[in-house]
A and B are shown apart, each in its own frame.
Chain A
Amino acid sequence: MLVGTIIYALINSAILALMAIGFNLTFGISGVANFAYGAFYVMAAYGMWLIRNHTALPYPLAVAVMVAVNVVLGALMYRFVLLRLRGQALSEVIATFGIGLAILELFRYYGFVGFEYTLPVFSDRSFVVVGTYVDAQRLFILGFAVVLVACLWSFTHFTSTGLAFRGIAQDERTALTFGIDADRVAALSVAFGAGLAALAATFIIPLGSISPEEGYDVLIKALAVCIIGGLGSSGGVIVAAVIIGFAERFTDSYIGSHWTMLVSLLAILAVLVVKPSGLFGKQKELEERI
């Protein structure tokens, strides 16, 4: 049982990391907390479902289309809404949350609720891993999370756009003096985040179904992971996803699944009490206040 729990905890961690990575990328670069993130996730999933069930387009193409749509919508949201609110964190949160709320409730209003709304698994085979049954989809998730983290890391370390991202993340004024267009980079960061939400949905939704609630759930999980890890820290996302992922599965297996939420929330509280800016957080003011 222990080995099985560890395997599923690892997968759970990968799911959490996938959910959080887009939100974290956007925040880490431009400081924009995109509270419409969950809505982008769900919207992409519904979009893929609609394309798959109402057009002849092959499914991989549907995924590509929705990732592109999300990227474009993310950039548009930055250009027409966030650009005007830059620097006022609370306004950014209210505006993006409002947009997300509108998107999610619109889907509910038009009746997109039910078990038929789901996305196909990539392969319905399953494997025995160290004596535990694991379906292919979960293995794909694990693999994709690892690949994505590796790709993002090399992107931000070895490409000029990635370096510009990190430059902006550290100090916008300095980045400007290097001839980096801060607004373009911030728009890209929101767009990338939205695109990653679509990719995450493609991998994770097949395990369950699409619903407006999923949007709120993903946002909350992304927030929890990012806050524990330290907002904007990419190393933090991985560590935090592992902490929550293991806490959830181990509570499930050894204490009881009705305690899961409580234990993961306690984990969050414990981290915040000890280190208020998160495990890898850089908000020094928070640290120095206590």
Chain B
Amino acid sequence: MTESPLLEAVELSKSFGGVRAVHSVSFAIQSGELMGVIGPNGSGKTTLVNLITRFVKPTSGKVLFKGETISHLPPHRIVRMGISRTFQMVKPFYQLPAYKNLIIPLYSPRMKMLAGRRYGDRNAVALDLLEEVGFERDAFVAYKPAGALPQGYLKRLELAKTIALEPELIILDELFSGLSLAEVASIVPIIEKLRLEGKTIIMIEHRLRELFRIADRVIVMNYGEKIADGKAAEVMESDAVKNAYLGTENVCK
């Protein structure tokens, strides 16, 4: 017997008018797994994340988290259950210093639920979190307004905001996009460390090389449908994926 999955999507569909953004996608993810979601632009990856976190209401199908249906809950309730996400376009609180950006999630309903009132010095917790995602300890950068940070730090801050909520499932929507190779290389160990801590992670990525190095498993989306699901190496060899990414031979010629 395998244990029941942490998250399960059952025939999730979403249409925007006549566009089938996501069509009958099912998958299950076990606790502790790192699952990549890849696919060409517009294939429905972000919509899939939006459906899981309920930022978008599914047209049909459902999502189960620890065996409970969550697809009827509003997004803030889903966060409280332990699913947290990043956005492709980062939106920090620009006027606040970087570490103060973490004060709001640290005071949020989920943290109150988990820690009660005995949560200690939250400024210190915020600075620790920033160090965890690669802000230099005691450096000026943690105290700068978020609006003045370079992209690499903004992505790290986005990651820190998600882990500040101590989630069980972390969904990273193109965390690596817009980052240099060196910056990606420095964030990969942070994700690996999160896995060692037992977090379950879903990563949407276009940076396949980096993704395949850390993912246990990859699902491939194309035109809103799941066209492959399996170990990274196997998935890349399948014909459906080659067609989706490279086009059919006729098109190539």
User: Chain A: residues with CB nearer than 8 A to chain B?
Assistant: 160, 163-164, 166-167, 170-171, 173-182
Whether the pair A176, B79 counts as a contact (CB closer than 8 A) is yes
Contacts of A163 in B (CB 8 A): 103-104, 107
With A160-B108, A163-B103, A167-B104 as contacts: A179 and B91 at CB distance below 8 Å: no
Whether the pair A166, B104 counts as a contact (CB closer than 8 A) is yes
The 10 A-B pairs with the shortest beta carbon distances in the complex, nearest first, are A179-B79, A160-B107, A181-B76, A167-B104, A178-B105, A178-B108, A170-B93, A179-B80, A179-B110, A179-B76
The answer for the CA separation of A176 and B161 in the assembled complex, in Å, is 12
Whether the pair A179, B87 counts as a contact (CB closer than 8 A) is no
Whether the pair A178, B91 counts as a contact (CB closer than 8 A) is no
Apart from A170-B93, A177-B53, list 20 A-B contacts with CB within 8 A.
A160-B108, A163-B103, A163-B104, A164-B108, A166-B104, A167-B93, A170-B95, A171-B91, A173-B55, A173-B87, A174-B93, A176-B55, A176-B76, A176-B79, A177-B75, A177-B79, A177-B87, A178-B104, A180-B76, A181-B76
Contacts of A174 in B (CB 8 A): 91-93, 161
Q: Nearest chain B CB to A283's CB is how many angstroms away?
A: 14
Whether the pair B165, A178 counts as a contact (CB closer than 8 A) is yes
Contacts of A175 in B (CB 8 A): 104
- Whether a CB of chain A sits under 8 angstroms from the CB of B84 is yes
- Whether a CB of chain A sits under 8 angstroms from the CB of B67 is no
Whether the pair A160, B91 counts as a contact (CB closer than 8 A) is no
User: Chain B: residues with CB nearer than 8 A to chain A?
Assistant: 53, 55, 74-77, 79-80, 84-85, 87, 91-96, 103-105, 107-110, 112, 161-162, 165
Whether the pair B85, A177 counts as a contact (CB closer than 8 A) is yes
The answer for the CA separation of A81 and B6 in the assembled complex, in Å, is 39
Contacts of B85 in A (CB 8 A): 177
Contacts of B105 in A (CB 8 A): 178-179
The answer for the CA separation of A179 and B110 in the assembled complex, in Å, is 7
Contacts of B79 in A (CB 8 A): 176-179
Q: Nearest chain A CB to B202's CB is how many angstroms away?
A: 15
The answer for the CA separation of A160 and B84 in the assembled complex, in Å, is 19
**Could you say which of A164, A176, A179, A181 has the most chain B C-beta atoms within 10 Å of its C-beta?**
A179
Contacts of B161 in A (CB 8 A): 174, 177-178
A-B contact pairs, 11 of them (CB 8 A): A164-B104, A170-B93, A173-B87, A177-B75, A177-B87, A177-B162, A178-B79, A179-B77, A179-B165, A181-B77, A182-B76
**Residue from A173, A177, A180 in contact with B109 in the complex, judged by beta carbons closer than 8 Å:** A180
The answer for the CA separation of A167 and B109 in the assembled complex, in Å, is 13
Contacts of A166 in B (CB 8 A): 104
Across the interface, name the chain B residue whose C-beta is closest to A170: B93
Contacts of A167 in B (CB 8 A): 93, 104
Q: Nearest chain B CB to A161's CB is how many angstroms away?
A: 9
Contacts of A176 in B (CB 8 A): 55, 75-76, 79
Across the interface, name the chain A residue whose C-beta is closest to B107: A160
With A181-B74, A181-B76, A182-B76 as contacts: A173 and B104 at CB distance below 8 Å: no
Whether the pair A180, B108 counts as a contact (CB closer than 8 A) is yes
Q: Nearest chain A CB to B190's CB is how many angstroms away?
A: 19
The answer for the CA separation of A167 and B95 in the assembled complex, in Å, is 11
Contacts of B53 in A (CB 8 A): 177
The answer for the CA separation of A169 and B108 in the assembled complex, in Å, is 15
Across the interface, name the chain B residue whose C-beta is closest to A182: B76
Contacts of B107 in A (CB 8 A): 160, 163-164
